[in-house]
Amino acid sequence: MKANITPDPLQSRQRLFLNVLLGFQFCHFASKPPHLVIGRRYLPHAGKRSSRIVPVLFDPAPKHRRMDIKVTGSLCHAHTTHRYQMDRFYFELAAELSSRRLCSPIAITPYLGVLKIGSSSVLDGSKHNDHSMVFYGRYYISLCRCCSKVELVGRRRVLAMAVMGAVLASAAAFVSILFVSWQLTLQIQKAQLDRDAMTALARVESIYADAVTTLREIASNTTRPCSPANIRQMVKLTESSRSVINIAYGANNVVECNTWGLLNYVISKNSSQVRQSDGIDAVFNWKPQTFGTYRSLLILRLNNYSVLVDQQDLFSDWVGSMASNISSIHANDGTPLRANYNDVPRTSETGFSEASSRNGPNGWSVTVRQPRITFPSYLRSEPVVFLPLLIAIALLSGSMAWFWLRWRLSLRYELAAAVRKGAFIAHYQPIIDLTTWRCDAAEALARWQRSDGSHVPPDVFVPLAESFGLMERITDQIVAAVMRDLGDWLRQDPNALIGINLSAADLSTGRILPVLDRALSRSGVNPRQIWLEVTEHGMIDITGAQITLAELHRRGHLIAIDDFGTGYSGLSYLQQLQIDALKIDRSFVKVIGTEAPTRNVTQQIIAMARELNLKIVAEGVETEEQAAYLRSNGVEFAQGWLFSAALPASDFLAFRSSWPGPQSAS
């Protein structure tokens, strides 16, 4: 039985999630065809629209038939077979949703009443486990929730990662740019401080040089010391100097005169005298007693004459860039100068950036400082500049996160990740000898094993893997799985055969040759026990395929054309290749006993194989009538749901052990 239903176009993305409600009604309706409706559809048996619970009707008797549901484009196809399994439907529904960019095809898990049916659920009359139920007579189960509760495994986690990544990337980029900008500002400040320190030192040296010039001029004066003419000369020189505040004459700590007139004043020696490199004696930080106690003076002496310089003039509040001030001045002997006598000599302070200059001719050094530009203060100083920068970074990070999210949720990424993690395993579909009814062979079918234990069928991932160039690595994993799973059986039974599918890239490049060679040498399996299956479309590069197949055949492998009849192979085409067997595609087996236009193709394929002396394997055998027809027409082998689905290795070995064998042949 088969029914095709054309769905109405979806109005919006939201309606697909809210309206895709599936209902399954299992009843004993032998006379009614099966129907599958997704979303708002016309029901053939009801003649009206429904957007809620939509039934699927099929006859479970007498063998508890399976309904194989396939979504292709906008069509939904349903037909019944021996068992009921929803794997293909759910994953192809996921692929359909992904093709419309509505969701990621990660997993869709329906809820069947209180029973959760996972992607590996099987409902039949012989098994009963956590994911199965036994159906007898008239049972009714309604699927109350499905796509409104679509379970996209990992999607929320990936979305959260993308959002968090975008936020963190924006913050990291913003902070990084600000940090780099702040560091550049600190470098600029350091360069400015260096320039200001040199400017300040030049200013100090200029004041010292002016005082020395004044001192030498008065010391070379020929008038009698402390005479009116001498005092007038002192006043004149003081007024003309920009640094000297007074000139005095005296010896033995007694001042005899200065610019104020004659004196006889004994001064206290509160500072030591240091001889400078130019022969001038200097007294630093001298505390005057005649004109205030707060001032600290620099005294320069030569020939009993002294000039007084206010050390406060050496310190300027702002120098150079007008952003720096002098932090400290040291004489050539390391004595720190004070602006005021009671000042404590300045040392390096936290919160300030400093720079020193020691390149003066007299060996003095000057240190200047500015308030340190901290990161918070830098942020507060330029808010108008940083806001557009933050917006630009946020937009850039958001765009990058969006592109990353599209890539991360794409089938290509998921498939590549599965290949990288070695998530592909082999399930084995028994191949039955229709003459002896023995099971000595199986086809290894690739299965994508997800982290939750579910399997993605090959109908979904094989075309994608071929288009993404990943099929070769999947083939490698399947070859390794066969040797790992069934190596012992193959070594113990020389008649055992396992079929492995090869991709177009395996044939055209010949890369499969060393892969098989390594696997067989390690496992000790005879090459004749590995049946290699190639499809017609996989031999587009006929020259490369011929070379590879010839070498495989020379090594002892049996070669079979898979899905024969679906391509363009003809008699002359097959004669170019060293082929041992043909596998009739399931589409030609399905029409056996029907009035379909293609019903005669099966017989023609069988006749062609006989003419070429090839063995024949029929795929997709689902009824006793099909098996009887094939056996009567000389087909040697068959596989399909009539015998068994593809099984894990342990289940396949158990199936083979329990298979009835020759007594079932008739």
User: How far from 509 is each of 85, 472, 514, CA to CA, in Å?
Assistant: 37, 10, 11
Statement: residue 608 has pLDDT above 50: yes
Single-letter residue type at 250: G
The two structure tokens encoding residue 320: 């150079």
In the chain, the percentage of residues whose pLDDT exceeds 70 is: 67
pLDDT tens readout for residues 12-41: 333 333 333 333 322 222 333 333 333 323
Residue 74: Cβ within 10 Å count: 12
Whole-angstrom distance, CA of residue 303 vs CA of residue 346: 34
Q: Determine the pLDDT at residue 145.
A: 27
Laid out side by side, the sheet with 75-81 consists of 2-5, 75-81, 66-72
Statement: residue 321 has pLDDT above 70: no
Statement: residue 142 has pLDDT above 60: no
In the chain, the percentage of residues whose pLDDT exceeds 90 is: 22
CB 602 within 8 A of CB 621: no
Whole-angstrom distance, CA of residue 96 vs CA of residue 74: 9
The two structure tokens encoding residue 357: 């200059």
Largest CA distance in the chain: 152
Of 122-126, 389-393, 602-606, least confident by mean pLDDT is: 122-126
pLDDT tens readout for residues 92-137: 444 444 444 333 333 333 322 222 223 333 333 333 333 222 222 2
pLDDT tens readout for residues 308-317: 998 888 877 6
Mean pLDDT of 275-293: 74
User: Which pLDDT band holds residue 345 (cuts at 50, 70, 90)?
Assistant: low
CB 15 within 8 A of CB 39: yes
CB 596 within 8 A of CB 589: no
Q: Determine the pLDDT at residue 624.
A: 92
pLDDT tens readout for residues 153-203: 456 666 777 777 777 777 777 777 778 888 888 888 888 888 888 888 888
Whole-angstrom distance, CA of residue 211 vs CA of residue 297: 12
Whole-angstrom distance, CA of residue 560 vs CA of residue 578: 9
Mean pLDDT of 260-266: 82
Mean pLDDT of 588-603: 83
Q: Determine the pLDDT at residue 569.
A: 54
The two structure tokens encoding residue 451: 């982290």
pLDDT tens readout for residues 503-555: 888 888 888 999 999 999 999 999 999 999 988 776 667 777 888 888 999 99
Most confident of 95-99, 145-149, 343-347: 343-347
Whole-angstrom distance, CA of residue 92 vs CA of residue 596: 27
Average model confidence (pLDDT) across the chain: 71
CB 87 within 8 A of CB 120: yes
Q: Determine the pLDDT at residue 89.
A: 43
Of 212, 175, 540, which Cα lies nearest the Cα of 364? Answer: 212
User: Which pLDDT band holds residue 351 (cuts at 50, 70, 90)?
Assistant: low
pLDDT tens readout for residues 69-83: 333 333 333 333 333
Q: Determine the pLDDT at residue 444.
A: 95
Q: Determine the pLDDT at residue 8.
A: 36
Q: What is the dihedral of CA 492, 497, 503, 506, to 10 degrees?
A: 50
Residue 87 or residue 401, greater confidence: 401
Q: Determine the pLDDT at residue 515.
A: 93
Q: Determine the pLDDT at residue 445.
A: 93
H helix or E strand, kind and range, residue 218: helix 155-219
Statement: residue 333 has pLDDT above 70: yes
Statement: residue 235 has pLDDT above 80: yes
Mean pLDDT of 385-392: 73
Q: Determine the pLDDT at residue 311.
A: 82
Whole-angstrom distance, CA of residue 419 vs CA of residue 125: 36
Q: Determine the pLDDT at residue 87.
A: 40
The domains found in the chain, sorted by start residue, are: 221-371 (no CATH), 427-660 (3.20.20.450)
The two structure tokens encoding residue 3: 């029914």
Per DSSP, what are the bridge partners of residue 49? 42
Q: Determine the pLDDT at residue 65.
A: 34
Of 103-112, 155-164, 474-483, 609-618, least confident by mean pLDDT is: 103-112
Whole-angstrom distance, CA of residue 604 vs CA of residue 169: 64
pLDDT tens readout for residues 628-644: 999 999 999 999 999 99
User: Which pLDDT band holds residue 593 (cuts at 50, 70, 90)?
Assistant: confident
